Amino acid sequence: MFFIILLFIFIVLFYNYFWKRRNFPPGPPPLPLLGNVLEFDHQEADYKTFKKWKEKYGDIYTFWASEKPFIVLCDYQLLQDTLVKDGETYSGRICVGEFNPHVRGGEFGVVFIDGDLWKEHRRFAIQVFRNFGMGKNVMEEKIQLELGYFFEDIETSLSRGENIQNLIPKIEITVASIINQLLFGFAYHEKAEVEKFTKIKETINKHMQIATYPGTLFAMHYPKIAPYLPILKDRYHGFINGYKIITEYCKEQISAHKAKRSTDAEPNDYVDAYLREAELKGNDSTFTEVQLINALYDIFIAGQETTANTIIFSVIYALNYPEKLNKLYHELDKVIGSDRRITLADRNSLPYCNAFIFEVQRLVNLLPQNLPHKLTKDVEIRGYKIPKNTVILPQISSVLYDEKAFPNPETFIPERFLDSEGQPKRIDEFIPFSLGKRQCLGESLAKMELYLIIANFFNQYKLEPENGSPPSMKKVPGVTVQPHPFKCSLKKRY
Ligand code: HEM
């Protein structure tokens, strides 16, 4: 008996530490069944573990999430040679365990699907956004309009003598109104809508945090038994509830559109455009209602979390680096010199402001892990033969914090994006939107929002920390990182 147990242990260890890893790039030794998930720091947004592994194993290595190997690519040139030069091969996606079949009802949405369905719906989303002005003047007008409401909100508080303000909800609602208009055709201006949004936003924040807990990953791998197990059952219900509340909101919007829709009118938003496409394509198409609900869930979350949190961190970094904030004020005074609205036409005259925004994006490192891709065919990377369907993680954090490209990477230094004449300097490794065919779908909208909101906000207001101590720069972990709550003092500059 003792011999059998010993043999069993030997086989498990041999399989786990040698056999299953034999063809993959070397990486940290995984525990049986758990893999390396316990090595991640779940208290803080974790790119440090990736950094440590990169230092030890190089630009390509393997870690294990439970029994699944993740091949991590963490060098800019390697990402170019793979994701960009051989884009199609790296365009697959994996979803967390059984999330798609168990929660979404199948392979639906835009972010966690692949193949022809993903191509068709990604193309459709980009086309619709272009038609509604993404990257053009029409979109600028929409953003400027929402900025007006943002400033009005701040000034109402100022007029009540509230010089110390919590900017987080104000920024969140501004960004959410922009994406909501694109998707559903209305912004959150009325009190009832604001209250509704506030509830949904709380759900999204929690949903994004729970998504990265190891217990949730486990629950999504074993969704049939998770609801009956301690700890896992809370993760399971917490995560699924978030999905239900957000998709319920999307369903309400679809019903409202169907009720007041005229087939002759030009589409006014994504839902209109989708319903029209579904009619044109007929019953056999992939333009089904369940696909619409899931695409909306994906884009609604991706379109607000990311941009709002980046803008909030621009305030946090400005308060922590007052000398950089003063440089920004100096440029705004010199180039703009009044409280007039800054527009896209001013962009080339504001190199420091642009560099400031780039550095915020680099340092905030919004998706510390990035989303995993999947190989659509067998490939050879740096001599390793990797089979089709293997998970590939383009680890953009390791590139954004690469000491060679960004010396002193943990410090906020906007000047790194400027040459000795103070003019813009391109750094190829600046890839916050990732690379290749899965590159962020909302990149041009996000860039426009970041520039217009950040430039105008700092032009209007002088900021100081509450009680002289700047807010924490620590990040609440999640798929996208979130800020810790803070308040700051605001004064009008004009
Ligand atoms: C500061 C703002 C943003 C950042 C840093 C950001 C970053 C990213 C990253 C890193 C990815 C994953 C790329 C990969 O798989 O390699 C991604 C995907 C995606 N983003 Fe963004 N994003 C931002 C804003 C937006 C906005 C405003 C939208 C919506 C309009 C959006 C929609 C999406 C979608 C739908 C995907 C999935 C694309 C696909 O799988 O084909 N993002 N984004």
CATH code where residue 104 lies: 1.10.630.10
Core vs surface per residue 362-385: b (16+ CB within 10 A) or e: bbbbbbbbbbbbbbbeebebeeee
CA of 142 to the centre of ligand 1 (A): 20
pLDDT digits (tens, 9 = 90+) for 140-158: 999 999 999 999 999 999 9
The answer to whether residue 5 is domain-embedded is no
The answer to whether residue 443 is domain-embedded is yes
Angstrom distance (rounded) from CA 73 to CA 153:
44
Q: Domain count of the chain?
A: 1
In this structure, are residues 309 and 480 in contact, taking their beta carbons and an 8 Å threshold? yes
Task: Look at 281-285, 319-323, 392-396, 446-450 and tell me which has the smallest mean pLDDT.
Answer: 281-285
Higher-confidence residue: 383 or 191?
Answer: 383
Instruction: List, in order, residues 6 or more apart from 341 with CB less than 8 Å away.
Output: 144, 147, 456
DSSP annotation of 266 reads P
CA of 436 to the centre of ligand 1 (A): 12
Angstrom distance (rounded) from CA 132 to CA 126:
10
Which percentage of the chain shows pLDDT scores above 90? Answer: 76
Q: Report the pLDDT value the prediction gives residue 112, as an integer from 0 to 100.
A: 94
The answer to whether residue 270 is domain-embedded is yes
Q: Report the pLDDT value the prediction gives residue 266, as an integer from 0 to 100.
A: 83
pLDDT digits (tens, 9 = 90+) for 442-483: 999 999 999 999 999 999 999 999 988 999 999 988 888 999
What tokens appear for 107 in the block? Answer: 């392979």
3-state secondary structure of 373: strand
In this structure, are residues 305 and 208 in contact, taking their beta carbons and an 8 Å threshold? yes
pLDDT digits (tens, 9 = 90+) for 398-424: 999 999 999 999 999 999 999 999 999
Q: Report the pLDDT value the prediction gives residue 77, as an integer from 0 to 100.
A: 97
Residues 34-47, mean pLDDT to the nearest whole number: 79
Residues 281-294, mean pLDDT to the nearest whole number: 94
The answer to whether residue 8 is domain-embedded is no
Range of the domain at 48: 24-492
Q: How confident is the model at residue 104 (pLDDT cuts 50, 70, 90)?
A: very high
Helix extents (H) in 160-288: 168-184, 191-210, 214-221, 232-260, 270-281
The answer to whether residue 4 is domain-embedded is no
The answer to whether residue 212 is domain-embedded is yes
Helix extents (H) in 264-321: 270-281, 289-320
The answer to whether residue 419 is domain-embedded is yes
Distance from chain centroid for Cα 219 = 23
Residues 255-278, mean pLDDT to the nearest whole number: 89
User: How do beta strands 391-394 and 68-73 pair?
Assistant: parallel
CA of 373 to the centre of ligand 1 (A): 13
Q: Report the pLDDT value the prediction gives residue 135, as an integer from 0 to 100.
A: 63
Q: Report the pLDDT value the prediction gives residue 67, as an integer from 0 to 100.
A: 86
Other beta carbons less than 10 A from residue 131's beta carbon: 14
For ligand 1, atom 30, name the residue with the nearest CA: 442
pLDDT digits (tens, 9 = 90+) for 301-321: 999 889 999 999 999 999 999
Angstrom distance (rounded) from CA 380 to CA 313:
39
Q: Which residues are annotated as a binding site for heme?
A: 440
The answer to whether residue 9 is domain-embedded is no
Nearest atom, ligand 1, residue 450 CA: 1
Scan for tokens 């699907």, then name that residue. 113
